[in-house]
Structure 1
Amino acid sequence: MPTDVVMPQMGESITEGTITKWLKKVGEAVQRDEPLFEISTDKVDAEIPSPAAGVLKEIKITEGTTVTINTVVCSIDEAGSASAPPASAETAATPAIDSSTPAAVDLPSANENPPENSAVQPSATEAPGTEVLMPQMGESITEGTITKWLKKVGDSVQRDEPIFEISTDKVDAEIPSPVAGKLTEIKVAEGTTVQINTVVAVIGGGAAKPAVAPAKPATPAAAPAAAPTNAQASEGGRIVSSPLVRKIASDNNVNLAQLSGTGASGRITKADIVGHLEGGAKPAPNAQPSVSAVQSAPATTAPVKAAAPAPQPGELVPMTKMRSIIAKRMVESKQTSPHVHTIFKVDMTRIVKLREREKNKYEQRNGAKLTYMPFITRAAVQALRKHPVVNAAIQGDAILYNRNINIGIAVALDWGLIVPVIKGCEEKNFLGITRSIIDLADRARSKKLAPDEVSGGTFTITNAGIFGEQFGTPIINQPQAAILGVGGLNKEALVLTDKDGQDTIAIRSVQRFTLGFDHRIVDGADAGKFMSDFKAYLENWSEDIG
């Protein structure tokens, strides 16, 4: 009798889990307690062992799918029955939902137009195509916009290779292929918004059909070669780079195949192409380096000298999906919360000297650059501990005092703004916050954030001071109660009073911070106390930075 394997509960508060990887294929033998699949929850990542010995008979849930606890995810034939279908080349790459249906999460809706030549049934030896669906990128997400196809009909794709880009209310992301094969059909054109679980493409399953609309190649076409010449070209024939890099390359007639990427898996970064345009990049080596598990190169702030041409006066340029969402959210926030702002001037001299003294040793010791943002974040966390109303939110006629301190850090992108969230900041030390900030910012710029990494924030920090402004009056990120704006760091003359009451004038490093708060829930006195404690923590810094 088959044994059902369920999604386990990995903690008292855990209600769901995501299957991130299957470690066995349908038809393979498994031993009791042998790792069967990997899951990820909001608390842990874990390998889940098999509850019985036998043969993996059926996989019901595909990789990347989130299900509630106790959902049946697969079944094991304890008798080792030979009824399990043998794994074909395609099923070896990805588990099938069911051995008798195409490998897709959902079947097409009843009102969907039948495919051409629907009367012709596939032969017994012809595997059906794998339908690629518009994924659900978060619990509240109901639709997504396809912003760019990275492959065109007829192209070969590798499993987990990005095939299209989407934009939703929460994130912009590259969507990987669920299987290896050939892209035979594109059903949804670029710029189209569709509901989740809509079939947007088909991989394999017969002759290629024309795309719905002419799909542009992801990168400028390179001259044919007998073998790839660099690490980028080796990954399924695709040059690994971000949309921004490809746009810069297209605008400047740069053949990306001639560049050597420094990012993860040979990805060409913005820094790589900027260096090439400035004449500092080296040609790609002929030998193909092995792909190693290295971290992405830190994002550069160097300006792109040859960027896309600016819009001309009088030109009407449609908003991008992200820009239209930002516009809508900003208007909603101003209509929802009565905004009040208070500005404090903070003497950062102590921290500036500490950073200058320790930054080289810190990077050598921890592999992370020492910036000012972890200092600011830690000070905010300590102040939020003492003043939980600033970390709260309004729900109807009640106030929700959040259990955790989840700090959102605004990241400016070349195509918009995104706010990844560091969860559980009250449990992290200085080094933990440093690493989280670097990791989330890097993945935000390369469109690698998961939906839950841009939701659930309880307080936001936005740093516009890097552009030179003294201070700003930021808009609250709903449904939060407050947002902290970081101003520029500059040297100023300050009057200092010693313990004897004597005044002197000294050159100090000064920074202005603005707290924008919702006056429905946070009073002026609460805001003032919060900022006073925040200021004192920074000016009298005594914490070990690790």
Structure 2
Amino acid sequence: MATDVVMPQMGESIFEGTVTKWLKQPGDTVERDEPLFEISTDKVDAEIPSPVAGTLQEIKVEAGATVQVNAVVAVIGEAGAAASTPAAVGEAKADSVPAEPQKTGGETSTTEVVMPQMGESIFEGTITKWLKNVGDKIERDEPLFEISTDKVDAEIPAPVAGVLQEIKAEAGSTVQVNTTVALIGSAAATGAVAQPAKGAPAALPGKPSPVPTVTATEPAAATEQSTTAGAAERLRSSPLVRKIAKENELDLREVAGSGSAGRITKDDVLGHLERRAGTATAQPAAATPPPVVAAPQSAPQSAPAKAAPAAAPVSSSALVGELVPMTKMRSIIAQRMVESKRTNAHVHTVFKIDMTRIVRLREKEKSKYEQRNGVKLTYMPFIARAVTATLRKMPILNASIEGDAIRYHSNVNLGIAVALDWGLIVPVIKQTEERSFLGVARAIADLAERARGKKLKPDEVGTSTFTLTNAGIYGEQFGTPVINMPESAILGIGGLFKEPTVVTDELGIDSIAIRSVIHLTLGFDHRIIDGSDAGKFMAEVKKYLETWSEDIG
């Protein structure tokens, strides 16, 4: 019996997803829960597991296609079932955006390569670079061109193997989604490669004016891009890495990659450039200023990543005097933060917590704990347990407004903000109240690791009822976080510091002692949470932490 594989829903507000890569091919045997394909949405990049064990019988949606949730993207048959012929690959439902094979005569065929839709609100993209030239042979899923949108910079893979027959939109062109940007011919179609005159226009659907077609005789700029891309593609690297290398006239073969399978990361390139700058001799003055090198910045101010890392933020010192357009990610964050501030009646209360008891416990147990349980003992699970226990006692802090009513959530789904190189994501520990301390510690470590590796499952994002955000790792005393809608409260965790504190012994005698303290800030929606409730909540969390007695496992 065959089983349909559908596009999963990645969140309440997500109605479509882009298939970025197939991890199995027709005829392959798959196990239940084995990664089958990768998808990308506005909210998360994820590997989607197979719902059943069997044989991948048919792929209905090509890599690069954007389809609505619940659309059938593949069919899995029983083990040993015959797979569909390759001709079936790419035949999608009407609500998808696959590359559509079209006959050109004889026994050869061409496949249209279209501008993919990189998100719900994205309707066009700019081709920043072609990674192949007309006449080049291409493997399926091999990077074909790079695009840039308001939301993401990405490499777009070839939907089929063959020969790049024609490029319809040259580098620098901005075209609407679903527009044909190139044609890939079958291997037998080599002789049919289009050879239009240099600069000949090619009409683009949905655009009022034609876009020049890149021909077999490419202009100097295109040749330079092709050469750079060719050298870079032999090394595993992202578009951003190659951009930085090009701007700084750096041969990536000189850089040792520290990423997976030797992939060259942004940090590898920046580190190499710093070392090179330290040993380089003075260069002759140039007529134009040197290119700006992207530098690391705090994660919440960076752009998101989809199929490939997004354009990196640059340090403010490197951009002095420049006007830089706001990224789409920055724009979306701005909109959501303004919406939250406009909708929620924000109030904040700050409590100082004496963590000395927990600090001593952690120092005593952390080495043995990691050896025993395979997870590091951090302070986050202590706070998560205290918050969860208190939320069960005071459900008004675990509630949200729905119209003119209040939704009291039956479970504590704790969101843990995770800073990424390309932005911020809030994976969720479902039903936190049912987990032990060790279970919470493992869940936090697991979610953070998979968030950074783009391995989160669809239902692990965007379903939290209360959020923890830890900015204290950067050394701040405390902050006033914005509520993560539709939640009604958020807890900001400040840095851990040693301070002189007045302590009172059992006899009532005061003395000065050095204690380890943190500041916890509760941001709450005053529409449904009164100040007295917020104060009681924080007092209970404080008591839980300062008198810690729970077994940590």
Shift of 1:492: 0.6
- Opposite residue 214 of structure 2, the aligned amino acid is P
Deviation at 1:405, TM superposition (A): 3.2
Separation in structure 2 between the aligned mates of residue 36 and residue 486 of structure 1, nearest angstrom: 36
Paired residue type of 1:386: K
Judge conservation of contact 2:141–2:158 (CA < 8 Å) in 1. yes
TM-score by length of 1: 0.67
Counterpart CA distance in 2 for 1:123 and 1:318 is: 47
Name the SS for the 1:48 alignment partner.
Answer: coil
Out of 417-426 and 265-274, give the one that drifted further.
Answer: 265-274
Residue 97 (structure 1) aligned to one of 52, 77, 90: 90
Check the 8 A contact 2:399/2:487 in 1, yes or no.
yes
CA distance in 2, matches of 1:190, 1:462: 40
Match of 2:500 in 1: 493
Structure 1 gaps of 5+ residues are 11-15, 110-114, 225-232, 281-298
1:291-330 correspondence runs (5 A): 310=317, 313-330=320-337
Q: 2:259 aligns with which of 260, 263, 285?
A: 263
The answer (yes or no) to whether the contact 2:5–2:50 under 8 Å persists in 1 is no
Q: Give the counterpart letter for 1:508 in structure 2.
A: R
Q: Residue 106 of structure 1 corresponds to which residue in structure 2?
A: 97
What CA deviation, in whole Å up to 9, does each residue of 1:187-235 have, x standing for no partner? 597795956xx34754623647539x988999993896xxxxxxxx7xx
**How far, CA to CA, are the matches of 1:188 and 1:376 in structure 2?**
53
Report the Cα offset of residue 422 of structure 1.
2.0
Quick one: distance in 2 between partners of 1:388 and 1:193? 50
C-alpha deviation, 1:499, in angstroms: 2.6
User: Matched residue of 1:143: which SS?
Assistant: coil
Q: Distance in 1 between matches of 2:388 and 2:440?
A: 11
Tell me the C-alpha RMSD between the 2 structures: 5.3
Name the amino acid aligned to 1:265: A
Q: Does 1:378 align with 2:385?
A: yes
> How far apart, in 2, do the equivalents of 1:102 and 1:43 lie?
21
Counterpart among 523, 526, 537 of residue 519 in structure 1: 526
Question: 1:495-546 deviations in whole A, cap 9, x for unaligned?
Answer: 1122332222110111111111111121212212222222223223344445
Q: Residue 503 of structure 1 aligns to which amino acid in structure 2?
A: D
Aligned partner of 2:237 in structure 1 is 240
Which AA in structure 2 matches 1:106? V
Paired residues, what number?
Answer: 474
Closer, same or farther: CA 440–102 of 1 in aligned 2, 3 Å: same
Please identify, of 39-48 and 437-446, the stretch whose mean Cα deviation from structure 2 is larger: 39-48
Matches within 5 A, 1:369-408: 369-408=376-415
Partner residue in 2 for 1:228: none
Q: Structure 1 residue 66: deviation in Å?
A: 7.4
Alignment of 1:7-26 (within 5 A): 7=5, 25=26
| Conserved? CA contact 2:493–2:520, under 8 Å | yes
1:60 paired with 2:60, answer yes
User: For the structure 1 residues 468 and 135, does the alpha-carbon distance in structure 2 shift closer, same or farther, using more than 3 Å as the test?
Assistant: same
2:104 paired residue among 101, 122, 129: 122
Amino acid at match of 1:419: I
Does the aligned pair in 2 maintain the 1:343–1:514 contact within 8 Å? yes
Say yes or no: does 1:204 pair with 2:184: yes
Matched, 1:152 2:131: yes
The answer as to whether partners of 1:346 and 1:539 remain within 8 angstroms in 2 is: yes
Matches within 5 A, 1:132-143: 132=114, 134-135=116-117, 141-143=120-122
SS at match of 1:317: coil
Determine the C-alpha separation between the residues in 1 that align with 2:458 and 2:78.
35
Unpaired stretches in structure 2, ≥5 consecutive residues = 9-14, 40-45, 195-212, 277-295, 300-312
Q: 2:360 aligns with which of 353, 366, 389?
A: 353
For 1:411-436, what per-residue CA distance to the aligned partner results, in whole angstroms no more than 9, with x for missing partners? 44566x42232241514444554455
Give the counterpart letter for 1:390 in structure 2: L
Q: Quickly say closer, same or farther: Cα 1:69–1:535, change in 2 above 3 A.
A: same
Deviation at 1:490, TM superposition (A): 1.2
d(CA) in 2 for partners of 1:312, 1:70: 45
Q: What's 2:426 paired with?
A: 420
- Specify the alignment match of 1:409 in structure 2: 416
Counterpart code for 1:257: R
After TM superposition, give the deviation of residue 4 of structure 1 in Å.
5.5
> What are the Cα deviations for residues 63-100 of structure 1, in whole angstroms up to 9, with x where unaligned?
7987777969548799999xx8744xxx6xxx6033xx
* Corresponding position of 1:504: 511
Q: Find the aligned partners of 2:539 and 2:274 in 1 and give their Cα distance.
A: 46
Partner Cα distance (1:148, 1:355) in 2? 52
Letter of the 1:48 counterpart: V
Distance 1:191 1:449 in 2: 34
Q: From the superposition, tell whether residues 510 and 395 of structure 1 become closer, same or farther in structure 2 (CA, over 3 Å).
A: same
The residue identity in structure 2 corresponding to 1:239 is R
1:452–1:251 distance in 2 versus 1, CA, 3 Å: farther
- Give the structure 2 partner of residue 540 of structure 1: 547
Aligned equivalents of 1:459 and 1:273: distance in 2?
38
- Structure number with the bigger relative contact order (C-alpha 8 A, sep ≥ 6) is 2
Range with bigger deviation, 266-275 or 471-480: 266-275
Contact preservation (8 Å) 1:143, 1:194 = no
* AA in 2 matched with 1:126: T
Change (3 A) 1:345 1:257: same
TM-score (ref. length: structure 2): 0.67
Q: Determine the C-alpha separation between the residues in 1 that align with 2:230 and 2:461.
A: 40
Task: For 1:359 and 1:345, locate their aligned partners in 2 and report how far apart those are by CA, in whole Å.
Answer: 24
Task: Give per-residue Cα distances to partners, 1:150-205, cap 9 Å, x unaligned.
Answer: 75342766555566466677x8876655445566547597795956xx34754623
Q: Which residue identity is paired with 2:262?
A: G
- Describe the shift of the 1:80–1:493 C-alpha distance in structure 2 as closer, same or farther (beyond 3 A): closer
Secondary structure of the equivalent of 1:488?
coil
- Using the TM superposition, give the Cα deviation of residue 396 of structure 1 relative to its aligned residue in structure 2, in angstroms: 0.9
After TM superposition, give the deviation of residue 279 of structure 1 in Å: 4.8
Asked if the contact 1:4/1:72 (under 8 Å) is kept, the reply is no
Matching residue of 2:488: 481
Measured against aligned partners, the alpha-carbon deviations of 1:452-473 in whole angstroms (never above 9, x if no partner) come to 6542232222222233322111
